[in-house]
Structure 1
Amino acid sequence: MALASIIKKAYYTLFFGILFYFSALLALTNPTLQRHVLYVHKLHSSAWFSPNEPEQFGFAKNQVQPFNFTTPDHEVIYAWHILPLGLYAKHETALLQQPSGCAEDITKSLAFQLLRGEPDSKLIINFHGNAGNVAQGWRTDSYRTLSDGSTSNIHILAIDYRGFGLSTGFPTEDGLIIDGVAAVDWAMQVAKVPASRIVILGQSLGTGVTTGVVEQFAKRGIDFAGVVLVAGFSAIPDLLTKYSIAGYIPILSPIGPYPRLKKILRDCVVDKWLSTERLANFVRLSKRVRLFIIHSKNDPEIPWTESEALFAAAANATTDGGMEVGLFNKMKARSTIDTGDGTFISTWKAGGDKIIREEILAYGHHSRILTYAPVALAALKAFDFEG
């Protein structure tokens, strides 16, 4: 009787577990709920740690200038302008006398004047991943990694998309791309930093934003100093059965063996983030390309093979009609350096002035990789720092 009771309880547990799982999948066909799950924008630390006090995240006093700008569709986007530490050191006394907190008018701040007034100022525009805010997790460490060089003149602009952190609105795919385009327009039109001195850097979800943004500017005929994609993905529908929350919860992998169910769920995805298509279009439309794709093999959330797909899409876009898979793999192998432990660097150079580089690292996980030297090195190479 005891064994029968155990079997019965196990049966009911399994039954209700399966019922709950498929009920949750059905609920996720609701666009609003689906976007909450995709963007996780309500999960952030702003209630406990104010991004308006950047010093608590390890920055020097007034090294970071928080401010807001407005998008064409009237959302208010919260942003950080982070000064390079070497430049900060030269102007520390004056910067310490500046008001702290979110600037009412960013153009009146000394930090802004140092960005706009220096003819050799360079700017990395950073688009972060889902969840959290501009000051969360490894993000602040990554800003310091990119700007801490003693002779660096690289400023950082980091934004919270609509609905994230202290920004207004609710996130959608089109909306986030509008936010990204507005950030670049602010840099070029207000701060007067030309595209030739701007690198666009995106991580995770931010790589989708980045591909959407650079495609829009390629349509305008504008080329940037470089584009860096870290821990990226090809498209949300293709990622569905591969992605794991925090590396531990593979939400949709159980439906992988069922093509029909998989197709139904793919069709229900409202924000598809077709990054490979946008990246290929960006490469085709641009006259000059410096594209860096970086991923770690031990990424527990997005498989590194997703960056392989991004590299293939970008490289194929440099030829008319693309290439047959066998030929592409053969050409890629010729320009690939084996760096050990199954890692490698592939460099694709096409006619004109297009260079695409893929670097697969052994370590870095999903977010910590932002603080690793190859990411900063990619930005330096994009700015044509040699050596």
Structure 2
Amino acid sequence: MAPLAPIFRKAYLAIFLGIGIYGLALIALTNPWLQRHVLYAHKLHTAWWVDINKPEQFGFAKNQITPFNFTTPDLETIYAWHVMPLGLYAKHEEELLQQPSGFAEDVTKTKAFQLLRDDPESRLIINFHGNAGTVAQGWRTDSYRSLSDGATSNIHILAIDYRGYGLSTGRPTEEGIIIDGVAAVNWAMNVAKIPPERIVILGQSLGTAVTAAVAEHFAMKGTEFAGVVLVAGFMDLPSMLTSYSIAGYVPALSPLGTTPRLWKLFASYIVDTWPSATRLANFVRLSKRVRLFIIHSKDDYEIPWHQSEGLFAVTANATTEEGMETGLLQKMKARNTIDMGDGAFISTWKAGGDKIIREQIVAYGHHSRVLTYATVSLAALKAFDMDEGGLLPQ
């Protein structure tokens, strides 16, 4: 048998070396500390060289945003932004410009906070962002503008950095981040005095898992919000990881998905599983009133849109006492689906008295930019009952 040509020997060597490095990386990821650093990517942010206590550098009006802290029950300090709607800001610009700029040691003494608390018509979106970065990262600042910049808007935004992110203290874990999310809602209801029927909880990517956990937590207490909006969500972390691509190009763990036994072994080492589908189903069952919006872009190359399809199916099924067979559910869904062209569609599910679930798959928007699109703003408006057309397709 003739010896392999040098070029083939090098190719085989490169393949075996790549497999070896990949295997070592997988073994390393079974370490909880490293795994959480990779999952949450909380150390990857621009706050090292950008002062996020100066929101004006991101294009906001002076003192339109108030940076401040609140404390969680386990004594972590959580950094937050209160974003004023531009229309409201315009009415009070002269007084707001006279306020101290930057971080507020006592947010309750600021004019912006008082306008939020004292207006019986004010609305609040509590925003939970995805992994990596800070409240000021990437498309996030643009999304705040799209959500609150209407001339007559009374929609304020509370955006937080979870523990370990940006200027917040601590280290991120599933349990800890849920505590942060619950604490943000409690701050809104108990300090800002905004009743839950004037609050929408909105999450993107990892933030959808936080939103699901927070919604379930309050549903178990009988608290119901104006609405819940999920953008680029996923069923649970293990199932999402089999199709997740880093930056849309590197299929990190999908090779394992082709080997069920190997994947099952690796999945047993995942420390934070974020079972959003289970939590959302429980939220739907426990709530008397539901306004749930599930939004995903078809060209999202990080988390495939079929993950949101799964969330819709699970939550729609949760509106029935005994559940229903997949085929029947799909037939009923098709009756209330509008084709938007380019593969996009809107499906609306109404059941259980006052429970409405709306899935909107848009053709464009990728993973994060979709946050700035009208689709997300419209979902918030509909949750607040600020639309005239209603939730159901005509």
Same fold (TM over 0.5): yes
Residue of structure 2 equivalent to 1:326: 327
For 1:1-387, what aligned pairs fall within 5 Å after superposition? 4-387=5-388
In 1, Cα distance between the equivalents of 2:158 and 2:85?
A: 11
In 1, Cα distance between the equivalents of 2:35 and 2:136?
A: 25
Larger mean Cα displacement after TM superposition, 245-254 or 200-209: 245-254
Q: Indicate the SS of the match to 2:5.
A: helix
Q: In the TM superposition, what whole-angstrom CA distance separates every residue of 1:33-87 from its partner, at most 9, and x where no partner exists?
A: 0000100000000011111000000100000000000000000000000000000
Larger mean Cα displacement after TM superposition, 131-140 or 262-271: 262-271
Q: Indicate the SS of the match to 2:357.
A: strand
Normalising by structure 1, we get a TM-score of 0.99
In 1, Cα distance between the equivalents of 2:83 and 2:143?
A: 11
Q: Indicate the SS of the match to 2:101.
A: coil
In 1, Cα distance between the equivalents of 2:257 and 2:74?
A: 39
Q: In the TM superposition, what whole-angstrom CA distance separates every residue of 1:296-346 from its partner, at most 9, and x where no partner exists?
A: 100010000000011011100000121111111111111111111121100
In 2, Cα distance between the equivalents of 1:304 and 1:14?
A: 32
Q: Indicate the SS of the match to 2:25.
A: helix
In 2, Cα distance between the equivalents of 1:297 and 1:211?
A: 22
In 1, Cα distance between the equivalents of 2:166 and 2:249?
A: 25
In 1, Cα distance between the equivalents of 2:293 and 2:254?
A: 29
Q: In the TM superposition, what whole-angstrom CA distance separates every residue of 1:133-180 from its partner, at most 9, and x where no partner exists?
A: 000000000000001000000000000000000000000001111000
In 2, Cα distance between the equivalents of 1:239 and 1:148?
A: 34
Q: Indicate the SS of the match to 2:223.
A: coil
Identity %: 73
Q: In the TM superposition, what whole-angstrom CA distance separates every residue of 1:250-284 from its partner, at most 9, and x where no partner exists?
A: 11111221110011111111100000000000000
Q: In the TM superposition, what whole-angstrom CA distance separates every residue of 1:99-131 from its partner, at most 9, and x where no partner exists?
A: 111111011111100000111000000000000
Which AA in structure 1 matches 2:202? L
In 1, Cα distance between the equivalents of 2:14 and 2:352?
A: 61
Which AA in structure 2 matches 1:312? A
Q: Indicate the SS of the match to 1:180.
A: helix
* Structure 1 residue ranges without an equivalent (≥5): none
Which AA in structure 1 matches 2:95? A
Which consecutive segments of 4 or more residues in structure 1 shift more than 3 A?
none
Q: Indicate the SS of the match to 1:268.
A: coil
* Structure 2 residue ranges without an equivalent (≥5): 389-394
In 1, Cα distance between the equivalents of 2:291 and 2:16?
A: 53
In 1, Cα distance between the equivalents of 2:149 and 2:13?
A: 57
Deviation of 1:4 (Å): 2.1
In 2, Cα distance between the equivalents of 1:90 and 1:203?
A: 31
Deviation of 1:351 (Å): 2.4
In 2, Cα distance between the equivalents of 1:378 and 1:242?
A: 27
Normalising by structure 2, we get a TM-score of 0.97
Deviation of 1:352 (Å): 1.6
Which AA in structure 1 matches 2:280? L
Deviation of 1:2 (Å): 11
In 2, Cα distance between the equivalents of 1:11 and 1:245?
A: 26
In 2, Cα distance between the equivalents of 1:186 and 1:148?
A: 23
Residue of structure 1 equivalent to 2:391: none
In 1, Cα distance between the equivalents of 2:356 and 2:22?
A: 45
In 1, Cα distance between the equivalents of 2:324 and 2:274?
A: 24
